[in-house]
């Protein structure tokens, strides 16, 4: 009998240690809840916050989860409560588990951000939606330092494209879009001040309708910018700020 209790005690300690390890990947915010419209569609009923954490870890697009111990409700979210505090509200019955990992696999780490360089071609809106799935946005270039950083990242990934030995231009969507009679950054809504236009750009917008035009950068031309129809399909770069 004593051996049974010892074995049971050791087993419970192992289970507790494993559960505690899951929480190592999260920051816990007490008395807060992710707003319902920022949660994924399904709520799960789990017996502990540790199980809620395990579910979030095993779900690629989960960055945070709300947990309510009295009911066992676990509401995963693709938004980070750390980077987007406006997605949360105070609630004494809930806690938020927010992932503290810095970069996904296959993302390129830098000091302050993680970058995804995608070779999949999408429209600007599709690319922005893809970035949002990972709590990120299309990259924005506010100065020459950011431009030079991106040049180095692309070169380090050997993102060159050739035909018959000839280097080809490679285009990537960035976070600039047309609105009214100017271009703006998507994440802030501010007009673009730093500019890095390609030769011949910006030309007058056909018909003066900026709404249909978005910004792309050209790899072989020092990441200079063109504007292109937003429904064109090119590659893109996402940026996610580290927690």
Instruction: Compute CA distances 170 → 129, 155, 177, 216, 225, whole Å.
Output: 21, 12, 19, 10, 12
pLDDT digits (tens, 9 = 90+) for 110-169: 878 889 998 899 999 999 999 988 878 999 999 999 999 898 888 776 655 555 555 556
Structural domains of the chain sorted by starting position, each given as residue range(s) with its CATH number in brackets: 2-99 (3.50.4.10), 108-241 (3.10.100.10)
Q: What pLDDT, on a 0 to 100 scale, did the predictor assign at position 200? A: 78
Question: What pLDDT is attached to residue 3?
Answer: 53
Q: What is the pLDDT of residues 57-113, one digit of tens each?
A: 887 678 788 999 999 999 888 777 655 555 677 888 999 888 776 777 788 888 788
79-146-229 Cα angle (round to 5): 70
CA 116/CA 137 separation, integer angstroms? 10
Of 97, 98, 35, 100, the closest CA to residue 69 belongs to 97
pTM, two decimals, is: 0.63
Contact predicate 75/66, CB 8 Å: yes
């Amino acid at each position: 009998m004593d051996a049974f209790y010892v074995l049971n005690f050791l087993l419970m300690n192992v289970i507790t240690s494993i559960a505690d390890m899951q929480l190592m990947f999260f920051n816990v915010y007490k008395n807060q809840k992710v707003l319902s419209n920022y949660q994924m569609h399904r709520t799960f009923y789990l017996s502990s916050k540790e199980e809620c954490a395990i579910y979030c870890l095993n779900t690629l697009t989960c960055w945070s989860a709300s947990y309510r111990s009295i009911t066992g409700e676990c509401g995963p979210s693709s938004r980070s409560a750390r980077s987007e505090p406006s997605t949360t509200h105070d609630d004494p019955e809930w806690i938020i588990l927010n992932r503290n990992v810095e970069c996904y696999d296959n993302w390129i780490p830098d000091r302050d951000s993680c970058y995804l360089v995608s070779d999949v071609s999408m429209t600007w809106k599709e690319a922005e939606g893809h970035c949002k799935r990972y709590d990120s946005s299309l990259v924005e270039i506010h100065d020459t330092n950011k431009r030079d950083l991106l040049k180095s990242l692309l070169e380090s990934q050997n993102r060159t494209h050739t035909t018959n030995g000839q280097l080809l231009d490679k285009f990537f969507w960035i976070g600039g879009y047309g609105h009214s009679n100017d271009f703006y950054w998507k994440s802030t809504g501010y007009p673009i001040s730093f500019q890095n236009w390609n030769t011949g750009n910006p030309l007058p917008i056909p018909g003066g309708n900026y709404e249909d035009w978005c910004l792309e950068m050209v790899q072989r031309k020092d990441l200079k910018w063109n504007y292109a129809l937003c429904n064109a399909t090119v590659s893109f770069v996402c940026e996610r700020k580290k927690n």
